[in-house]
């Protein structure tokens, strides 16, 4: 279908995703329409010729090939009823041939997702697929008991960090057994929307709304099980922008350490270390951020290194946080140096004002931490075993998506 741009083609292949019942034209002629989807895009096929005969050849869920078709650019009139992604529409001729074809080996349809910017650039109302991260969710409801309605409006951002509002009406949400009380379930979730309606409005700008054909894949496996689709991401690396904009911290995958969240630290006491994405703030006290130590053994009052020269080292307490919890940790020299981007020696010769500023910034890092209870105290601390500002957001994003789709469906 996506190759229709090449007008020379006279056949299409795709899966029938929906079919309208037979209707009658003003002249009493039967007609119907259906939607064909090849995974990359969908297109509306309208049948006026031989509608009775073709109606039985078109079965929802089957992959079909149609040859001898008529392709035209969607008219303004059609656009009102045709919300398919394709800019073309198809008509069948008397001599058109519909053939059922074997589903391709790869049974999962690849969904083309669009970014908010791409959606904004569309010139007409369309159904789009997108993956959005929900920053916040709000409930609106009717004050009139005669006309009860409610909706959840999501403040969401996409992979590039562009924000948009998505409105989910009670009618659509109830299909998924969501209630008003599920508002919280949407927050801080990555949600896949299949066939979300995108409409542009002079007054309100871009409007994203669910309608009857929209499918919502939230972090809820009961929904994932229904998902036969396989989500295709264009630009996972761009996710970095999103994470930074949000200052949202999540876990990141690693071959050796398990993903984790700050809030899970207490569950792994004495156990494995976990790898988290965390926002780190250092103690902004300039005086206590560094110490003078032996250049060989780093000790403060070294007696044994044959009078080796001294140098400055960082040793600064810090706070690591993600959206599930907070941990205190001490950052030793190389860790603080990585975070701040300068050595303790360089730091010590900066202007006091600049030193202060340097210490005051929050930095997102990937950290491998292990739980450590303070000696004799109940106060919990984490020991940082590894730290990197070079977070692998691609992996992290895939981890999120794995969670989103669920292991049951099988992953890319
Ligand atoms: Zn020493």
Give 310 Cα–ligand 1 centroid separation in angstroms: 9
In the chain the domains, ranked by start, together with CATH numbers, are: 2-100 (2.40.50.140), 109-245+403-409 (2.40.50.140), 254-391 (2.40.50.140)
User: What is the per-residue DSSP string for 6-53?
Assistant: STT--EEEEEEEEEPPPEE-TTS-EEEEEEEE-SS-EEEEEE-TTHHH
**Distance separating alpha carbons of residues 291 and 298, to the nearest angstrom:** 10
**Would you call 7 exposed, middle or buried from its count of C-beta atoms within 10 A (0-12, 13-18, 19+)?**
exposed
Give 309 Cα–ligand 1 centroid separation in angstroms: 9
Give 288 Cα–ligand 1 centroid separation in angstroms: 21
Q: Which tokens sit at 116? A: 């908010």
For residue 130, give the nearest of 12, 40, 49, 232 by alpha carbon: 232
Give 343 Cα–ligand 1 centroid separation in angstroms: 19
Give 367 Cα–ligand 1 centroid separation in angstroms: 29
DSSP state of 75: P
Give 169 Cα–ligand 1 centroid separation in angstroms: 68
Give 311 Cα–ligand 1 centroid separation in angstroms: 11
Give pLDDT, residue 117: 85
Which residues surround the ion ligand 1 when the cut-off is CB under 5 Å? 294, 296-297, 302, 305
DSSP state of 349: T
Sign for the CA dihedral angle at 331, 332, 334, 336 comes to positive
Over its length of 412 residues, how does the chain's per-residue pLDDT go in tens digits? 544 444 445 678 888 888 999 999 988 999 999 998 876 678 899 999 999 999 999 998 888 888 888 888 888 888 888 888 788 888 998 888 898 887 654 434 445 678 888 899 888 888 888 878 777 788 999 999 898 899 999 988 776 667 789 999 888 888 767 788 888 877 777 777 878 899 987 777 888 998 877 877 765 433 433 443 333 333 333 333 333 333 333 333 334 566 677 777 767 655 677 877 777 888 878 999 999 999 988 889 888 888 889 999 999 988 887 767 778 889 989 889 988 989 999 999 999 999 998 988 778 788 888 877 665 555 667 888 888 876 655 555 555 555 444 433 332 2
Q: Which tokens sit at 1? A: 């279908």
User: What is the per-residue DSSP string for 167-235?
Assistant: EEEHHHHHHTT--GGGHHHHTTEEEEEEEEEEEEETTTEEEEE--TT-EEE-S-HHHHTT--EEEE-S-
Give pLDDT, residue 354: 93
Work out the number of other CB atoms within 10 angstroms of the CB of residue 192: 24
**Distance separating alpha carbons of residues 100 and 412, to the nearest angstrom:** 27
Based on its alpha-carbon atoms, the radius of gyration of the chain, rounded to whole angstroms, reads 28
Give pLDDT, residue 112: 65
């Amino acid at each position: 279908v996506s190759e229709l741009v090449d007008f020379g083609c006279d056949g299409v292949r795709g899966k029938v995703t929906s079919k309208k019942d037979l209707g009658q034209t003003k002249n009493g002629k039967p007609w119907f329409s259906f939607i064909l989807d090849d995974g990359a895009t969908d297109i509306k096929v309208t049948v006026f010729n031989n509608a009775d005969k073709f109606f039985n050849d078109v079965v929802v869920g089957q992959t079909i090939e149609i040859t001898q078709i008529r392709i035209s650019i969607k008219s303004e009139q059609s656009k009102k009823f045709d919300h398919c992604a394709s800019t073309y529409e198809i008509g069948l001729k008397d001599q058109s041939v519909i053939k059922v074809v074997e589903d391709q080996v790869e049974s999962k349809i690849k969904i083309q997702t669009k970014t908010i910017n791409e959606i904004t650039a569309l010139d007409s109302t369309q159904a789009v697929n997108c993956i959005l991260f929900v920053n916040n969710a709000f409930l609106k409801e009717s004050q009139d008991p005669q006309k009860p309605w409610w909706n959840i409006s999501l403040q969401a951002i996409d992979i590039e960090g562009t924000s948009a509002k998505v409105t989910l009406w009670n009618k659509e949400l109830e299909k998924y057994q969501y209630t008003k009380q599920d508002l919280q379930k949407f927050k801080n979730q990555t949600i896949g929307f299949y066939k979300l309606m995108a409409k542009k409005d002079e007054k309100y700008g871009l409007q994203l709304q669910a309608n009857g054909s929209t499918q919502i894949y939230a972090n809820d496996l009961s929904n994932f099980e229904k998902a036969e689709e396989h989500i295709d991401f264009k630009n996972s690396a761009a996710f970095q922008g999103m994470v930074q904009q949000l200052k949202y911290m999540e876990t990141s995958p690693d071959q050796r350490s398990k993903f984790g969240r700050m809030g899970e630290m207490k569950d792994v006491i004495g156990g494995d270390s976990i790898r988290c994405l965390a926002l780190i703030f250092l103690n902004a006290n300039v005086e206590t951020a560094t110490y003078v130590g032996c250049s060989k053994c780093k000790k403060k009052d070294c007696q044994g290194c044959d009078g080796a020269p001294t140098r400055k080292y960082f040793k600064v307490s810090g706070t690591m946080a993600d959206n599930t919890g907070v941990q205190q940790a001490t950052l030793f020299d190389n860790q603080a140096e990585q975070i701040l981007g300068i050595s303790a020696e360089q730091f010590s010769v900066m202007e006091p004002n600049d030193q202060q500023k340097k210490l005051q910034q929050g930095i997102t890092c990937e950290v491998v931490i292990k739980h450590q209870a303070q000696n004799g105290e109940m106060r919990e601390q984490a020991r940082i075993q590894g730290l990197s500002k070079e977070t692998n957001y691609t992996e992290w994003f895939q981890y999120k998506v794995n969670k989103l789709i669920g292991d049951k469906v099988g992953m890319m």
